[in-house]
Chain A
Amino acid sequence: GENVEQHPSTLSVQEGDSAVIKCTYSDSASNYFPWYKQELGKRPQLIIDIRSNVGEKKDQRIAVTLNKTAKHFSLHITETQPEDSAVYFCAASNTNSGYSTLTFGKGTMLLVSP
């Protein structure tokens, strides 16, 4: 099955800096890669996603890049703010395989200091 590795496990940045979280996946058939943000005790919220036919996607301060050849994808947050502090999860799935279960990375705890 799919295996998703996520790094780093924790990331501390100063407000205004950029943050980058990286994930690799093992199944070359995976074609959908969402990113979720989870605040303590809350539900994961989808913040951005990318499909395998696209190399990069941007939404305001958040961007995701995908390298299918290397089987890795990254989340980029620019101009970080304290409210960006949360745990971020990457995930991968093969939407052609029926009900397309998501395999999650282990998460990255992002701390943005004022």
Chain B
Amino acid sequence: GAVVSQHPSWVICKSGTSVKIECRSLDFQATTMFWYRQFPKQSLMLMATSNEGSKATYEQGVEKDKFLINHASLTLSTLTVTSAHPEDSSFYICSARDGTVATNEKLFFGSGTQLSVL
């Protein structure tokens, strides 16, 4: 299946700093990528949908100025957590669809990023 690479796998930062997470589709073009947040023992909560070449669409309750998303190419989307605070500590995971296949609904996930804000 398609491979989605996500980096870093874990990051520890001080409160008030910004953290950038990268999500790459390695062997396919992803016109759309999705960013999720997952708390321990909980489900995947969609944060935003990242569309190549346009502004991201954020879910209700997600601050777009705090979670900056850039999808500048067909293989790369980034999520930047700005001015991180301890409550932002979580597992962030991206997913992507193969945009070259019109009927392909399958989503492939990155390996996730565990963010710990001190």
A and B interact: yes
A89, B43: Cβ atoms under 8 Å? yes
The 6 closest A-B CB pairs, nearest first, are: A43-B109, A106-B43, A32-B105, A99-B32, A43-B111, A95-B105
Q: Is B61 an interface residue (CB 8 A)?
A: no
Q: Is A104 an interface residue (CB 8 A)?
A: yes
Q: Is B93 an interface residue (CB 8 A)?
A: yes
A106, B42: Cβ atoms under 8 Å? yes
Q: Which of B16-53 contact A (CB under 8 A)?
A: 32, 34, 41-44, 46, 49, 51
B109 to chain A minimum Cβ distance, whole angstroms, is: 4
Q: How large is the interface on A (under 10, 10 to 19, 20 to 34, 35 or more residues)?
A: 20 to 34
Residue with the greatest number of chain A CB neighbours at <10 A, chosen from B97, B107, B114: B107
For B34, give the chain A residue with the smallest CB separation.
Answer: A101
Interface string of B89-108 (1 = CB under 8 A from A): 00001000100000101111
